[in-house]
Amino acid sequence: MTKPQRSQRVVFRKRRLRIADVNVVDQPMLKRAIGGTVVGNTMEWFDVGVFGYLITTMGPVFLPEADRTVQTLFLLGTFAATFIARPAGGVFFGWLGDKIGRQRVLAMTLIMMAASTFALGLLPSHAAIGIWAAILLVAIKLVQGFSTGGEYAGATTFVSEHAADRRRGFLASFLDMGSYLGFALGAAIVSALQLTLGSAAMEAYGWRIPFLIAGPLGAIAIWFRLRIEESPAFRAALEAQESATQELAQNDEAAAKGPLGIVRAYWRQILVAMVVVAAANTVGYALTSYMPTYLTESKGYDPINGTLLTIPVLVAMSLCIPLTGRLSDRIGRRPVLWIGAVSTIVLSVPAFALIGVGNVWTTLGGLALVAFPVTFYVANLASALPAQFPTASRYGAMGIAYNFAVAIFGGTTPFIIDALIQSSHNDMMPAYYLMATSAVGAAAIWFLQESAQRPLPGSLPSVDTAAEARAVVAQQEEDPRIDLEHMPLTEVPVAVADDGVALQLPLDHPAALEAAEIAGVDLEATALEAQVSGEAPVASGPISGQVPVVAMPVSSGAS
């Protein structure tokens, strides 16, 4: 007896993952990638630390005729000007990094950054060329800010694309550990010079030494960076362009249109990232770049003690950053970021109250309370933010989101806080400012896409071992963290019956060909990929996600 034919339709879905699709991390390459990016970040923050700690020393060098308050505001304003140039650098280098690759752009940014830092040490003083000394100082800091604009966005993108999905938070956190250790190194060198040379010699020539040290340090960092290879995710994205799916084509189109195209396509993610970055960096820069000035100007510490007190706190915080990065791999990026936001709101007033007591130990306790939320904030930015954007536009979107936020809120934090204190004559204004920015940041974290233990958008899964690759392929239908619809995989035709039973059709099946023509799916690319890989694509199993659906009668052939 002939069975009635079932009603069927043809849908197109991403093919299933194969073992060859899963990236097994090359561990030696990963170590070189982390080392090469960490040294650059360390170099960047070494300069930030040196400049921040020398503000009270450099004031008389460049504006000797101004009073102390004007000198401080000028140097803080120069520091902020560096961050005004960062968005332009982030936009340019982000766009370039999505075009020619992360590794080459990161080499360029590091060369520019090291050269401009070294140039600061060669600047003539006001006594030699008058007001032009101050103008040249601002100009060099603008160049430095432009190059730095491509540094952090590129470094976080690069490491995130190299790391295995389940350890991305831990490995990316080493970037910020290196950053704050670089800051502590700058502080230690400045302190050693202040102790050995004295204030007169520091103003005469000693302030130049830390900047000149950036020359050989930069050469070492550049050597490390030139040895690293391009990220697997970016290489895979380039290879996928020839057989791009509809979603990948849209992503590539956004990247091809440059920064404006990226903003139009991902403005929601960019806005959320900017708010989170603003909240985190307001606390971070208050601790690092402003605290020495605050301790000296508002709390009566001499410049040497104001610098020395922050060093042990920075070192301890740096060593804890990988721990909070690992924690985010276990419980998620959003919960850890919320710990940073809430602890800022809760601890800011007690922190500055302790600092206000004026005792060395209470000051250290207050600094530790400020450092606590920074540890939870910054450890997760490097892994959470790149995961908000697809591979084709990741560097560019990160360059826009991170640098505009840092320019508006992070780099201006010392200037804003000092201006608030001067206008209100209230030394607790820093606490209130940090609380306000973190309250807004806590709300923004709610809209952040959770990315812990998940592949990056537009990228294939990345694991540490071949055994993990086999497990990912075997469990891809059941694992909610595997979203095939946002991976660079070709689409295959599947006949789906009313009862949900799915069967992949041969690529030359008449119904598949007709449906592909209607839906605009390139089956030739699918056939070519299968031929190159030597493996027929598999698409059996339940249909999940949003897929193009074409209603087509398909004969079941059942009898």
The 10s digit of each residue's pLDDT in 323-342 is: 999 999 999 999 999 999 99
Model pLDDT, residue 32: 82
**32 and 519 in contact (C-beta within 8 Å)?**
no
Q: Tell me what percent of the chain is helix, strand and coil, each rounded to the nearest 5.
A: 75, 5, 25
Q: Cβ(105)–Cβ(35) under 8 Å?
A: no
State whether CATH 1.20.1250.20 applies to domain 19-229+251-445.
yes
Report d(CA 72, CA 57) in Å as an integer.
9
Which residues make beta-bridge pairs with 14? 491
| SS3 label, residue 540 | coil
515 backbone dihedrals φ, ψ, rounded to 5°: -65, -40
Which of 234, 232, 264 minimizes the C-alpha distance to 250? Answer: 264
Domain boundaries, the chain: 19-229+251-445
d(CA 226, CA 219): 11
| CA-only gyration radius of the chain, Å | 27
Predicted confidence at residue 411, as pLDDT, reads 66
Low-confidence ranges of the chain (pLDDT < 70): 1-8, 230-257, 303, 411, 498-502, 504, 517, 519-559
- Rounded Cα distance, 32 and 545, in Å: 37
Give per-residue pLDDT as tens, 22-68.
Answer: 888 888 888 888 887 888 788 877 887 788 778 878 888 888 888 88
Cα 41 from Cα 180, distance rounded (Å): 9
| 3-state SS class at 522 | coil
Predicted confidence at residue 232, as pLDDT, reads 67
Shortest CA distance to 174 belongs to which of 381, 407, 455, 406?
A: 381
CB of 114 closer than 8 Å to CB of 221: yes
Q: DSSP secondary structure string, 280-291?
A: HHHHHHIIIIIH
pTM here? 0.78
